[in-house]
Amino acid sequence: MGIIKRFNNAGHAHELTFSCYHRRRHFENRLYCTYLCRAISESRARYDFDLLAYVFMFNHVHLLIYPRSDVHDISLMLKSIKQSVGRRVIRAARLAGEARLKQFRATTGSQSFRFWQVGGGYDRNIVERNTLRYVMRYIHNNPVRAGLVARPELWEWSSYRDWAGLGQGHLTIDRESVSLL
C-alpha cells in the first residue's frame, strides 16, 4: 500500500474522503455521526481550518476544508478527526459489551480494533472556484447517487441545506472562505 502524498500549499482547499474499515456502515449509527461532528469541530479549533462542505455517508465521509494558515498539515487535521472518532466509538463499544465490540475487531495489522480503513483516504487540492463548485455538488449529491434520497436536501448529515438556505446542519459552514479561491 502506497503512502499518500499531501500537498500543504497555502490558499488551497482540500477535498478529503475517508472510509470505514472494510466499508462497514458505521454511520447508520447517529451516535457515531455525533462523534464525527464533535471531532471535526475540535480539529477545526485546533488546526484552524474552515469547513466548506461535508456529507457523512453510511460507510464513508467527504469533507471540503480550507486551511486558514499558510503553514498547515492536512495529515494532522485528518488524523485528529479520525483518531478522535475511533477512540470514542471503541470506548463506547467496550462499555456496551463484547457483542458490540466485535464489529470493530481488526483482521490485519497491529491494532486489535479498527473503525477507519487503513490508509490516508483521498486528498485533492483545489485552487479554482469552478472546481470548488463542482466538488461541492459532487459531495452534496452523494446520497442521491447512492439511491438513499431523491434530493440532496433530504439527507440529514450534509451541508447542502446550509448552502441552499434551507436551515442549518449539524456543523457550521464557513461560507466566506469560498470567495478566497
- Domain chopping of the chain, boundaries: 13-180
pLDDT confidence of residue 6: 64
Whether 144 and 30 have beta carbons less than 8 Å apart is answered as no
C-alpha cell at 56: 457523512
What is the residue type of 146? A
Q: What does the alpha-carbon distance between residue 142 and residue 138 come to, in Å, rounded to a whole number?
A: 6
pLDDT confidence of residue 98: 72
Residue 143: burial class (beta carbons within 10 Å; 0-12, 13-18, 19+): buried
Q: What does the alpha-carbon distance between residue 172 and residue 162 come to, in Å, rounded to a whole number?
A: 8
Any idea what DSSP says for residue 158?
B
C-alpha cell at 71: 503553514
Whether 133 and 181 have beta carbons less than 8 Å apart is answered as no
C-alpha cell at 147: 439511491
- 46 φ, ψ (degrees, to nearest 5): -75, -40
Place of cell 476544508: 65
Q: What does the alpha-carbon distance between residue 89 and residue 78 come to, in Å, rounded to a whole number?
A: 17
Query: pTM for the full model?
Result: 0.90
**CA angle at 171 for the pair 169 and 177, rounded to the nearest 5°:** 105
pLDDT confidence of residue 180: 63
DSSP helix/strand/coil, 50:
strand
Among candidates 6, 23, 35, which has minimal Cα distance to 122? 6
| Residue 23 backbone zone (phi > 0: left; psi -120 to 50: alpha; other: beta) | left
CATH hierarchy code of domain 13-180:
3.30.70.1290
Cα end-to-end distance, the chain, whole Å = 33
Per-residue pLDDT of the chain (181 residues; tens, 9 = 90+): 445 566 776 778 999 999 999 899 999 999 999 999 999 999 999 999 999 999 999 999 999 999 998 888 999 999 999 999 999 999 998 888 877 788 888 877 666 888 999 876 778 889 898 999 999 999 999 999 999 999 999 999 999 999 999 999 999 999 887 776 5
pLDDT confidence of residue 14: 93
pLDDT confidence of residue 1: 44
Q: What does the alpha-carbon distance between residue 180 and residue 11 come to, in Å, rounded to a whole number?
A: 8
